[in-house]
Chains A and B, each alone.
Chain A
Amino acid sequence: MTTLVSSAAEPAGPPFRGRLRVPSWVGVVPFFVYVAAFLILPTAIVVGGAFAGAHGPSLTNISALTQPYILDSFLHSVVLSAASAVIGAVVGAVLAYAVASGAPNGVIRRVVTSACGVLSQFGGVTLAFAFIATLGGAGFITLWLQEHGVNIYANGVWLYQLSGLILVYTYFQIPLMVIVFLPALDGIRPQWREATSNLGGTSWHYWRHIAGPLLLPAFLGCLLLLFANSFSAYATAAALINQGGIIVPLQISNALSSEVGLAQANLASSLALAMVVIVVVVTALYSWLQSRTARWVR
């Protein structure tokens, strides 16, 4: 920053008193140095670690990914992300439609979007505790149902298993869907529906031939975004599940914090690399679908 201000005091304007004109790249140096140190270097460390062996580069860590317990964690992560993304996208789209069809500056819209902002971002640990308070062993709903003769845990405590994670993740997926899908819904003009009815079309025609095809890429894009979102989530699962590594992020944290040493750090790197590859592919598909939506949503 200091560099930026002091060096930037001269340029742009006329060269006062014959001072030197500072080259234009100087102003971006602090930013690039910072990003190189705290974003690019860590990423390079991950990639380097994934291919590091005891004696120079090797594929040991990558082949370590094929161990059954790691493959299981990848499978669990994919199931968890897909299930929570589909539920979140469908319910979130319905909620977004309910919001979008109301007054654009109404109280309901403000409250819903703010609440969605909080719940989608702040999820994490808070969300885990919310569910422990609701459905945990001494949770509000658990106790209430017990009083009425229903034991939701008759077949084992599923809250701390994969099915519990799907339910909990849905709670931050729905709000995220509302936030990312609202702009697409707002882009749908009421005039299009009016034009449809003027031409004798019904509601079905409108959804089947106009709104549906227009919204589909946006919907699929948001679905992918939700998938990537839950695939990379860690905090909620970590706060809910104290040990074991049923999903990839928990495996990474196990590998990172275990005392075994270097080999485990490299395993963490290869797990992390595999995660990035999946997230990048999903995100690339998302941006491609998003660019199709961008043609008509301004």
Chain B
Amino acid sequence: MNRRRHRRLEPFRTIVLVVLGILFLVPIGAMVEFSTRGVGINSPRTLSSFTSIFSYPDLTGAIVASLELAAITSAAMLVLLLPTMVWVRLRVPRMVRVIEVLCLAPLTIPAIVLVVGLAPLYQWININLSDSILTLGFAYLILVLPYAYRSLDAGLSGVDVRTLSEAARSLGAGWATVVTRIIVPNMSSAVLNACLLSVAVVLGEFTIANLLNFENLQVAIATIGRANAGVSIAVAVASLLFVFVLLLALSFVPRPGSRRRRVRIGVL
């Protein structure tokens, strides 16, 4: 009896998936079309927009800066968040809830609001510490907290942290060893998940960089787009593909424990 329902459902699924698939592919296809246009009206297709990416030093600088920021933010996220989460689970369970609320708070404080408060802070940082674009990492770590927290929390709840760490410590392991060699290997897919989500957030970030006058990948795309739309659309296509492949790879990482715990990119 379920089969009959399925037969009725198949055309519906096909139509929905095809129609929406086309709707979503058109703008992406248009980007590819636009970025491969020649100069004249009837000139042949060309990849010059893609190859000339490297002739814009500002753009390559911004790409490198964004990749560095992605790496720094992911690393800092792991160093700050993971030990804290393990620690509260072992030593101060009543703080778990507080940490959760703080980590999820950036979801209710839009980046455009956060940047208003960050502006005076960054004025001070840029004068007293450094005016490098990499200082954006401080703000980005806050932006990735909700996504990283959810991911790590899901991973930690699948591991018996207390038993593992007590076993390790009774065998003489230090605290650092417990985290890096016992806990992390047992939740490697959650750690990877958290890192990749952080990378995706950082590579797509525009608001804070733009309003603090730093030129990261997205700001460079927007700036160059005003002069040469072809090149910036080429970069946009390339970065879109990059993140898509990243997240697709992520969906294939085996997730031990729960079938229900899928890639959670959303804000749920």
Query: A interface vs B, CB < 8 Å?
Result: 1, 4-5, 8-13, 24-25, 27-28, 30-31, 34-35, 37-39, 41-46, 49, 91, 94-95, 97-99, 101-102, 104, 108, 110-134, 136, 138-141, 171, 174, 176, 179-180, 182-183, 186, 190, 193-194, 197, 203, 225, 228-229, 231-235, 238-239, 242, 249, 252-253, 256-257, 265, 268-269, 272-273, 275-276, 279-280, 283, 290, 298
Q: Are A125 and B222 in contact (CB under 8 A)?
A: yes
A-B contacts, 19 listed (Cβ < 8 Å) = A8-B175, A12-B175, A34-B141, A38-B118, A98-B13, A98-B16, A102-B13, A114-B251, A117-B200, A129-B225, A130-B30, A139-B30, A183-B268, A232-B112, A234-B112, A235-B210, A235-B218, A238-B222, A276-B108
- Please measure, in the bound complex, the distance between the C-alpha atom of A36 and the C-alpha atom of B92, giving whole angstroms: 19
Chain A residue numbers with a CB within 8 Å of B112 are 232, 234, 249, 252-253, 272, 275
- Please measure, in the bound complex, the distance between the C-alpha atom of A265 and the C-alpha atom of B117, giving whole angstroms: 10
Query: B interface vs A, CB < 8 Å?
Result: 1-2, 5, 9, 12-13, 16-17, 20, 24, 26-31, 33-35, 79-81, 83-84, 87-88, 90-92, 95, 99, 102, 105-121, 138-139, 141-142, 165-166, 169-170, 174-176, 200-201, 203-204, 206-207, 210-211, 218, 221-222, 225-226, 229, 232-233, 236, 239-240, 243-244, 247-248, 250-252, 259-260, 262-268
Q: Are B26 and A134 in contact (CB under 8 A)?
A: yes
Contact partner of A30 (CB less than 8 A), chosen from B29, B80, B119, B174, is: B80
Chain A residue numbers with a CB within 8 Å of B28 are 130
Chain B residue numbers with a CB within 8 Å of A49 are 116-117
14 new A-B contacts, CB < 8 A, other than A234-B207, A253-B211, are A44-B117, A45-B120, A98-B13, A101-B13, A104-B259, A113-B251, A125-B206, A125-B221, A129-B233, A132-B229, A133-B33, A225-B267, A232-B113, A257-B211
- Please measure, in the bound complex, the distance between the C-alpha atom of A203 and the C-alpha atom of B9, giving whole angstroms: 12
Q: Are A12 and B166 in contact (CB under 8 A)?
A: yes
- Please measure, in the bound complex, the distance between the C-alpha atom of A184 and the C-alpha atom of B13, giving whole angstroms: 18
Chain A residue numbers with a CB within 8 Å of B33 are 133, 140
- Please measure, in the bound complex, the distance between the C-alpha atom of A134 and the C-alpha atom of B35, giving whole angstroms: 11
Q: Smallest CB-CB separation from A118: which chain B residue?
A: B244
With contacts A110-B248, A180-B268 taken as known, whether A194 is within 8 angstroms of B2 at the C-beta atoms is yes
A44 to chain B, nearest CB (A): 7
With contacts A28-B84, A114-B263, A194-B2 taken as known, whether A95 is within 8 angstroms of B16 at the C-beta atoms is yes
Chain A residue numbers with a CB within 8 Å of B201 are 121
With contacts A234-B112, A275-B112 taken as known, whether A171 is within 8 angstroms of B24 at the C-beta atoms is yes
Chain A residue numbers with a CB within 8 Å of B236 are 125-126, 129-130
Q: Smallest CB-CB separation from A30: which chain B residue?
A: B80
Q: Are B211 and A176 in contact (CB under 8 A)?
A: no
Q: Are B244 and A12 in contact (CB under 8 A)?
A: no
With contacts A114-B247, A114-B248, A115-B24 taken as known, whether A124 is within 8 angstroms of B218 at the C-beta atoms is yes
Chain B residue numbers with a CB within 8 Å of A128 are 222
Contact partner of B114 (CB less than 8 A), chosen from A42, A140, A193, is: A42
B97 to chain A, nearest CB (A): 13
Q: Are B265 and A120 in contact (CB under 8 A)?
A: yes
Q: Are A41 and B117 in contact (CB under 8 A)?
A: yes
Q: Are B268 and A42 in contact (CB under 8 A)?
A: no
With contacts A39-B102, A176-B266, A238-B222 taken as known, whether A276 is within 8 angstroms of B113 at the C-beta atoms is yes
Q: Are B265 and A121 in contact (CB under 8 A)?
A: yes
Q: Which of A5, A12, A229 has the most CB of B within 10 A?
A: A12
B110 to chain A, nearest CB (A): 3
Q: Smallest CB-CB separation from B84: which chain A residue?
A: A31
Q: Smallest CB-CB separation from A108: which chain B residue?
A: B17
Q: Smallest CB-CB separation from B113: which chain A residue?
A: A272
Q: Smallest CB-CB separation from A170: which chain B residue?
A: B23
Q: Are B20 and A174 in contact (CB under 8 A)?
A: yes
Q: Are A235 and B207 in contact (CB under 8 A)?
A: yes
Chain A residue numbers with a CB within 8 Å of B170 are 13
